[in-house]
């Protein structure tokens, strides 16, 4: 089908009784302290806990339900009945009207009540059942009214944690309110989507997907009383079942991971949901035997299981942007696994910068030997997806159904052939495997092994397949396959590597004892001793270089000390790097980067290298290597402060600087696909990392990468 792209006029939200007009251009150029831009009106308003919830819902109404902001109004006065004949008004936090109609009571179709999100601190908020929220829901029932507003039938009450959908049922015998798992498709949506694509399978708005994931996990942890790691795995079992069901039912309309509108309201209905999904999970275990054990089972109550299925069923996870899925998944994984076993994970900003600079291509093999929960692997898939969109001039647009299918096939093929991860922690191996499954529709290649001991450690199940797929580029193996290596290795003297079998692999490289000659000042290797232990990051530098093929590229997170300490060991490690690699870039990060996401107070540097050929190593040793340019940068801002609060660029007067952004959504109107564009003003995040990425691209246009051309090396030729 030929794509129909229209710039549709959208009415602005008006006062009661006014006719909608064409949406005005955004006028907010700066914000004062404590202000945000309202998603509905585009005007500057005061921020508040309640406003955060309202803004999140308004954005989701557009992106997930196809409702124009011009068909919404905030704080809309609605007459409500009281005792006797007396009437008064209450305000709907978000009122939704017939598309393109006047904002008046007669045209009301849906209403939303928003409340501030509960203060949780470090505690999980226990989610309420509808009967426990009856007192709060009375406000929504009053707004929906009775027989005098028959067509205004759908309501939502939310505090960002609890979500309660009500359907008004009006008959000649009176009005009742039915609890629903979601909203029906309604004509006030912009155009009209099919029931399947709109109600059962809708693209997730990123922030709402995070909320949904968090609510599911909180229900298991808080309402079922499970420890958070057990709750996490139960949620992942169901997430895997959801992805499996989408793939199996695609095009058939016979999804089993779904909930009828009122099925969740009765014990019998919840049991039917549980029976369907448990049978589905048994199929998942049969198909993914490398991921799931026979003993893995869903142990949730029928009520909890039905709650999660109802929360996830409406989303088309296969069609949702992989960055949105990755962000939601990483946040959930990090919350549950970070720190429990001594790990910490790389912040998204640093991950994205590293992938952007190394720019992996579709025919290149990528490895993260300390993959944790798969942040670098996820970012690589996202990078390729964006590259394909840019090649087709659709970057920034939601993918068409045809693109979704085609890009999904390409991502699956890439992940199966070129994407590799490894970790010593079996829990993280499973978590990463499931992450890749949600993004690329395949389990990929994630090995449970010790990357420093490799190729030793045969007792770990991932060692043998890794030796076959990603051998090291040193004797006896000289056929390395890795083009790009990205890693944030564990570092610190408090976790030393002292196993002699491991250290012996590095004795010809960095695992040596060095002394400074007191007379000459030169650094010399000790002839009487060798180190009995070394910090892991020191060894990982050599291992990373060994793992990539000549011409391969490396991005590694290192503590600043290893690149600046004057001690003989660190100095010799720097010489080892210069001997075996071209230094492409060095980017220093502020301490905030890892404080917020990893609770680690340390200064770090992102080091980017390109492995030399044997001839280039010889040239360095003989002193015949020609000087070359190295990109260096220091990031001062990464978009948030030490407390995790977002940082915005400000005018000299202290006001927040704004920029126009365009949001896009594909909506089906009369059988044709239409791209809906919505222009809004947004605060400019004060983040140096995207600027550094752009500066690096400009630098490379002026100064090509030193050394042999990787493309020539990959083809087996000579440069």
In a domain, 593, yes or no: yes
How confident is the model at residue 713, as a pLDDT?
A: 67
**Cα dihedral angle (588, 590, 592, 595), rounded to 10 degrees?**
50
Same domain assignment for residues 212 and 179: no
In a domain, 262, yes or no: yes
Same domain assignment for residues 397 and 465: yes
Same domain assignment for residues 489 and 388: yes
In a domain, 630, yes or no: yes
Same domain assignment for residues 140 and 40: yes
Same domain assignment for residues 272 and 416: no
Give me the DSSP letters along 272-325: HHHHHHHHHHHHHHHH-TTT--TT------HHHHHHHHHHHTTB-TTTS-HHHH
How confident is the model at residue 696, as a pLDDT?
A: 97
Same domain assignment for residues 409 and 307: no
In a domain, 573, yes or no: yes
Q: Is 69 exposed, middle or buried (0-12, 13-18, 19+ CB in 10 A)?
A: buried
Same domain assignment for residues 375 and 456: yes
How confident is the model at residue 347, as a pLDDT?
A: 84
How confident is the model at residue 716, as a pLDDT?
A: 59
CB 357 within 8 A of CB 696: yes
Q: What is d(CA 345, CA 347) in angstroms, rounded to the nearest whole number? A: 6
How confident is the model at residue 485, as a pLDDT?
A: 98
Which of 161, 190, 219 terminates a domain? The answer is: 190
* Averaged pLDDT in 10-residue chunks for the chain of 719 residues: 31 43 57 87 91 94 86 92 71 92 91 90 75 91 76 90 90 83 61 37 83 87 85 88 87 82 88 94 90 91 92 85 80 62 70 97 97 92 95 87 90 97 91 88 92 89 94 74 95 81 91 82 80 91 96 95 89 94 96 76 92 95 95 94 86 86 66 69 90 96 88 59
How confident is the model at residue 624, as a pLDDT?
A: 95
Same domain assignment for residues 276 and 358: no
Count, in order, helices (H) and strands (E) of the chain: 21, 21
Instruction: Dig out the tokens for 283 from the structure.
Output: 């199929």
How confident is the model at residue 672, as a pLDDT?
A: 62
CA distances from 338 to 16, 18, 341, 346 (A): 50, 52, 7, 11
How confident is the model at residue 478, as a pLDDT?
A: 63
How many domains in the chain? 3
Same domain assignment for residues 160 and 298: no
Same domain assignment for residues 226 and 165: no
How confident is the model at residue 620, as a pLDDT?
A: 95
Taking Cα atoms as reference points, which of 651, 609, 633, 606 lies closest to residue 699? 633
CATH number reported for the structural domain that contains residue 571 in this entry: 3.40.50.150
In a domain, 77, yes or no: yes
Which of 123, 156, 190 terminates a domain? The answer is: 190
Same domain assignment for residues 303 and 385: no
Which of 131, 159, 190 terminates a domain? The answer is: 190
Neighbouring C-alpha atoms within 13 Å toward the C-beta of 626: 4
Q: Which helix (H) or strand (E) segment is 91 a member of?
A: strand 87-97
In a domain, 659, yes or no: no
Which residues lie below 8 Å from residue 566, measured CB to CB, with a gap of 6+? none
How confident is the model at residue 156, as a pLDDT?
A: 95
Domain span at residue 141 reads 30-190
Going 580 to 583 to 589 to 593, the CA torsion angle's sign is negative
Same domain assignment for residues 185 and 283: no
How confident is the model at residue 198, as a pLDDT?
A: 35
CB 60 within 8 A of CB 207: yes
In a domain, 272, yes or no: yes
CATH number reported for the structural domain that contains residue 41 in this entry: 3.90.1570
In a domain, 673, yes or no: no
How confident is the model at residue 336, as a pLDDT?
A: 65
How confident is the model at residue 185, as a pLDDT?
A: 58
Q: What is d(CA 114, CA 159) in angstroms, rounded to the nearest whole number? A: 6
Q: Is 75 exposed, middle or buried (0-12, 13-18, 19+ CB in 10 A)?
A: exposed
């Amino acid at each position: 089908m030929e794509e129909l792209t229209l710039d549709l006029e959208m009415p602005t939200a008006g006062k009661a009784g006014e006719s909608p007009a064409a949406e005005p251009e955004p006028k907010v150029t700066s914000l004062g302290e404590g202000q945000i831009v309202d998603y509905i009106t585009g005007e500057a308003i005061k921020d508040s806990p309640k406003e955060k919830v309202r803004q999140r819902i308004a954005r989701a109404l557009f992106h997930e339900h196809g409702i124009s902001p011009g068909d919404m109004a905030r704080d809309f006065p609605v007459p409500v009945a009281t005792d006797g004949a007396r009437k008064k008004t209450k305000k709907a936090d978000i009122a939704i009207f017939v598309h393109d109609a006047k904002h008046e009571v007669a045209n009301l179709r849906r209403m939303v009540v928003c409340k501030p999100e509960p203060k949780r601190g470090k505690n999980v908020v226990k989610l309420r059942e509808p009967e426990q929220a009856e007192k709060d829901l009375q406000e929504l029932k009053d707004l929906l009214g009775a027989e005098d507003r028959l067509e205004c039938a759908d309501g939502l009450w939310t505090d960002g944690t609890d979500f309660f959908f009500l359907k008004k049922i009006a008959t000649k015998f009176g009005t009742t309110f039915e609890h629903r798992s979601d909203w029906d498709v309604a004509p006030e949506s912009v155009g009209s989507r099919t029931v399947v694509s709109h109600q059962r399978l809708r693209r997730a708005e990123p922030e709402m997907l995070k909320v949904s994931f968090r609510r599911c996990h909180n229900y298991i942890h808080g309402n079922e009383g499970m420890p958070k790691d057990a709750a996490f795995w139960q949620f992942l079992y169901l997430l895997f079942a959801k992805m499996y069901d989408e793939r199996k039912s695609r095009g058939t309309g016979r999804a089993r991971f779904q909930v009828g509108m009122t099925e969740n309201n009765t014990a019998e209905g919840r049991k039917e949901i549980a029976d369907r999904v448990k049978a589905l999970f048994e199929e998942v275990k049969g198909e993914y035997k490398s991921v799931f054990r026979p003993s893995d089972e869903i142990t949730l109550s029928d009520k909890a299981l039905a709650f999660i299925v109802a929360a996830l069923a409406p989303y088309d996870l296969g069609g949702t942007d992989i960055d949105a899925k990755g962000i939601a998944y990483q946040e959930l994984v990090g919350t549950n696994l970070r720190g429990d076993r001594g790990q910490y994970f790389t912040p998204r900003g640093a991950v994205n910068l590293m992938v952007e600079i190394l720019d992996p291509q579709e025919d290149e093999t990528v490895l993260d030997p300390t993959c944790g929960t798969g942040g670098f692997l996820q970012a690589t898939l996202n990078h390729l997806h964006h590259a394909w969109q840019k090649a087709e001039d659709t970057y920034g647009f939601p993918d068409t159904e045809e693109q979704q299918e085609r890009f999904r096939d390409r991502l699956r093929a890439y992940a199966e052939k070129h994407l590799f991860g490894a970790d010593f922690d079996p829990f993280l191996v499973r978590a990463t495997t499931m992450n890749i499954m949600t993004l690329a529709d395949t389990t990929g290649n994630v090995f449970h092994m010790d990357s420093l001991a490799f190729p030793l450690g045969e007792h770990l199940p991932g060692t043998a397949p890794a030796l076959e797929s990603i051998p090291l580029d040193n004797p006896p193996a000289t056929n390395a396959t890795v083009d790009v290596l990205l890693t944030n290795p564990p570092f610190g003297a408090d976790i030393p590597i002292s196993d002699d079998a491991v250290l012996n692999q590095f004795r010809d490289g960095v695992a040596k004892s060095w002394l400074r000659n007191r007379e000459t000042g030169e650094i010399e290797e000790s002839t009487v001793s060798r180190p009995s232990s070394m910090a892991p990051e020191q060894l990982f530098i050599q291992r990373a270089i060994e793992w990539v093929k000549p011409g391969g590229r490396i991005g590694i997170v290192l503590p600043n000390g290893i690149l600046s300490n004057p001690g003989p060991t660190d100095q010799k490690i720097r010489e080892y790097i210069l001997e075996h690699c071209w230094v492409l870039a060095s980017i220093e990060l502020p301490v905030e980067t890892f404080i917020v996401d990893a609770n680690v107070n340390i200064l770090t540097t992102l080091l980017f290298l390109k492995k030399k050929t044997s001839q280039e190593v010889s040239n360095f040793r003989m002193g015949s290597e020609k000087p070359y340019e190295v990109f260096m940068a220091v990031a001062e801002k990464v978009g948030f402060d030490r407390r995790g609060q977002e940082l915005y660029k400000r005018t000299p007067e202290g006001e927040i600087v704004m920029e126009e952004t365009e949001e896009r959504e594909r909506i089906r109107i009369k059988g044709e696909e239409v791209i809906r564009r919505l222009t809004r003003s947004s605060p400019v995040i004060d983040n140096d990392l995207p600027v550094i990425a752009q500066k690096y691209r400009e630098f490379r246009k002026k100064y090509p990468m030193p050394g042999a051309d990787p493309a020539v090396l990959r083809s087996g030729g000579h440069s």
